[in-house]
Structure 1
Amino acid sequence: MFFDKCQPLTLSASDGQNITVRIEINPRAKRLILRLDEANREAVAVAPSKRHLKAAAQFATDRRDWIAARLAQLPQQTGLVEGALFNLRGAPCEITLEGPGRRASLAPGPPQQLSLPGDPETVSRRAARYLKKAAREDLADAVERHCATLGVAARKVSVKDTRSRWGSCTSDGGLAFSWRLIMAPHSVLDYVAAHECAHLLEMNHSPRFWAHVARCCPDWKKERDWLRRHGRALHAVTV
């Protein structure tokens, strides 16, 4: 998808809060669009063409108090640094630089202790590497199990840092997931894996699709609701 980025705007809400609005041109857009970029804590105003730039800027300006209110509702960001607390498989986990040996290790809690001996300046990168590897392993296991239930096969399983979707399925059988699912309860990760495996049979969200999901994950509605309520907190963990 093509995006033409323009100079961002800085607006002041009625409560005095300064907010940043990024202006983008997307020829595929049918109208002016205003959305939140939760990772960067800013708003994005999308215009269909250059001649709509002023309208997009005014569109965002007229809604600056709405933007400020929505940004204020976002969970507090947590960095993957020494002493940080975050959730791993749905349970509290603390990052420490102390531990046996020189390799990353996980000790039971509460809270769990993710030991990452080494340079404090690289702890965030090493923590992310550990979590992505754990996510890939958990998701691969879940996909294998659900594929066996449905009688299908996935061509490839990968993890990414996606923002708009927790998982995706391509027409040639490739499955991709957000590595941040490793921070959710395992049952939630399992549901997302079941969801994408079901797409190997139905590339839609028809009743037949949801019947396949239910075969793999009978409580899928509960797990989907958890993601809707807590998904923002997973994206609030920064690397």
Structure 2
Amino acid sequence: MTYNNGQTMTLRAPNGQHVRVRFEVNAKARRLILRLDERRREAVAVAPSRRQIKDAAAFAAERADWISMRLQHLPEPVRFEEGAMIQYRGAPLQLTSEGEGRVAKIWAEDENSPRLLSVPGDPETMDLRVTRYLKKQARADLTRSVKRHCATLGVAHKSISVKDTRSRWGSCTHDGQLSFSWRLVMAPPEVLDYVAAHECAHILEMNHSAKFWAQVAKCCPDWKRHRAWLRTHGAGLQAAGE
């Protein structure tokens, strides 16, 4: 069988579960890579070149049981809809379309009630409006962190963008353009701050060497704990808003 970039195939794991695998070609990859796309709930087999996609398919087939096990342990999706509970800056927040006006805002009925994110309007478009609000807050939080960390490191960034990335929480180009996942605003603030520090450090060191981590530590001494939190709970952030 011939496989192409972007194509998917379905495997049957030893436990009987069917799992989907998508193929990607990445010239920067030095070897065959198998990772999970938590948002799509499928595996991604990455090949360094088009001619190695067949090898990537075999690589994934040999690990169908691992893929199945990992997919089964993914958290259930949380849709941005009426009454849903989400995380916001590390704390629970309930969504509601009730409220006055057209501006989204956070409030609480009393100190014993959960905080509410009120997004007045058509319930059918609540997911779009909630996402828009979270992106705006994520940009504000990340901008503050980036400015502080750049000052600490004595560097300058060119721009900040907030996207819905699947495979990484942040990135940095050689000319200082920083990009982040808006989903970081759902994590505890110190975790978002760590990712900002991580990308600012890349302005000095475009690698993950000891020198790089030393720069991260200048901005975020407890970075190992925050990185561990993201590795443990990151899938939950990706499951929200599907």
Normalising TM by the smaller chain, what interval? Answer: 0.7 to 0.9
Task: Find the counterpart in structure 1 of residue 126 from structure 2.
Answer: 123
Aligned length: 236
CA root-mean-square deviation? 2.3
Flag the 1:117–1:223 CA change in 2: closer, same or farther, 3 A. same
Q: Secondary structure at the match of 1:238?
A: coil
Q: Using structure 2 for the length normalisation, give the TM-score.
A: 0.87
Matched letter for residue 166 of structure 2: R
Q: Distance in 2 between matches of 1:89 and 1:135?
A: 9
Q: Distance in 2 between matches of 1:95 and 1:211?
A: 40
Which runs of 5 or more structure 1 residues have no equivalent in the other structure? none
Residues 1:107 and 2:107 aligned together: yes
Q: Secondary structure at the match of 1:5?
A: coil
Task: Find the counterpart in structure 2 of residue 22 from structure 1.
Answer: 22
Cα deviation code 1:94-127 (max 9, x no counterpart): 1100123221111146522110110111100111
Bigger drift between 165-174 and 125-134 goes to 165-174
Q: Secondary structure at the match of 1:159?
A: strand
Q: Using structure 1 for the length normalisation, give the TM-score.
A: 0.88
Cα deviation code 1:51-86 (max 9, x no counterpart): 655554444333322211111111111111111111
Flag the 1:163–1:130 CA change in 2: closer, same or farther, 3 A. same
Q: Secondary structure at the match of 2:185?
A: helix
Residues 1:162 and 2:162 aligned together: no
Give 1:207 shift.
3.1
Bigger drift between 36-45 and 104-113 goes to 104-113
* Percent identity of paired positions between Structure 1 and Structure 2: 61
Flag the 1:152–1:21 CA change in 2: closer, same or farther, 3 A. closer
Matched letter for residue 42 of structure 2: E
Q: Distance in 1 between matches of 2:127 and 2:153?
A: 38
Q: Distance in 2 between matches of 1:173 and 1:34?
A: 29
Give 1:31 shift.
4.9
Matched letter for residue 191 of structure 2: V
Q: Distance in 1 between matches of 2:52 and 2:218?
A: 48
Bigger drift between 90-99 and 208-217 goes to 208-217
Matched letter for residue 38 of structure 1: E
Which runs of 5 or more structure 2 residues have no equivalent in the other structure? none
Q: Distance in 1 between matches of 2:178 and 2:96?
A: 33
Flag the 1:153–1:114 CA change in 2: closer, same or farther, 3 A. same
Task: Find the counterpart in structure 2 of residue 65 from structure 1.
Answer: 65
Contact conserved, 1:91 with 1:111, CA < 8 A, in 2? no
Bigger drift between 118-127 and 204-213 goes to 204-213
Q: Secondary structure at the match of 2:82?
A: coil
Q: Secondary structure at the match of 2:76?
A: coil
Give 1:24 shift.
4.2
Q: Distance in 2 between matches of 1:39 and 1:219?
A: 28
Matched letter for residue 226 of structure 2: E
Contact conserved, 2:160 with 2:179, CA < 8 A, in 1? yes
Q: Secondary structure at the match of 1:79?
A: coil
Q: Distance in 2 between matches of 1:222 and 1:45?
A: 29
Flag the 1:55–1:201 CA change in 2: closer, same or farther, 3 A. closer
Matched letter for residue 87 of structure 1: Q
